[in-house]
Structure 1
């Protein structure tokens, strides 16, 4: 059904995107005939999300600053620029890969657009590779929020750009 976000089995090659990832999940939304490419889908997810997500992000940034964790993509090499705080690492019209490496974990988001012109779908896959106890603890604490946030962000793809 168009606009319904559901969790799906990840279909990306984790080894090629983030070798050694210990966490991977994926969510999909049917978008019908909406003409969006991977960058537009990612932009709608990240930049046009609900305000409560922005509040959670600000809280996260306050809480992780004392630990020296990144609070944005600033300073990160980004061949495709930034979408929100996410450096774009690679991009085609059908797939965008964004993310960054930090001392506690490495993170990637893969946004895939597939299907026919009349029946398109967008899949967002998240991969995380932790490096230490801080990374594993952070991942454990953030996972319940992550699933809620991604579902909400994915729902924004079918809405017209603001």
Structure 2
């Protein structure tokens, strides 16, 4: 089964973040047919590669003087990696949080794609609240695209954890 991550159009407004003014979506066929959106979110976002963790450390060091959150951790939400869980069904997991410069959501959708695969999409939605939010998204977009593509690629190679 040929597998390739590709960009797909996003229609705004989106129910996960109705006021979003920036969005992208990537999808890929992932072998298997029984994974839920939450299990795929945990596999894709639960443990980042070292280079992504290093980028996040640099990002947090740069933005913390501006009062931006290093992650959504506030002690009130269940988390996957750095991201609080907003909502979940078997077909969709929504993660994200609101900050002073922007609000964002990561939406992981899963649907059957034949007998041996599932179609997995990762949609990122952003509501840029202030000029700094617009600048921030412009600066991180190339890294964001690489990270999302890497996550989807890793999902297609990794196997679900037992249990």
Partner of 1:140: 138
Superposition misfits of 4+ residues, deviation over 4 angstroms: none
Q: Deviations over 1:26-46 (max 9, x none)?
A: 000101324311111111111
- What is the TM-score normalised by the length of structure 1? 0.90
- What is the TM-score normalised by the length of structure 2? 0.89
Report if the CA contact (8 A) 1:95-1:111 is conserved.
Answer: yes
SS of residue matched to 1:156: helix
Report if the CA contact (8 A) 1:112-1:124 is conserved.
Answer: yes
Q: Which runs of 5+ in 2 are unaligned?
A: none
Task: Work out the number of aligned pairs and report it.
Answer: 159
Partner of 1:127: 125
Residue 94 (structure 1) aligned with residue 91 (structure 2): yes
Q: Which runs of 5+ in 1 are unaligned?
A: none
Report if the CA contact (8 A) 1:49-1:152 is conserved.
Answer: no
Partner of 2:155: 157
For the aligned residues, what is the CA RMSD? 1.8
Report if the CA contact (8 A) 2:96-2:106 is conserved.
Answer: yes
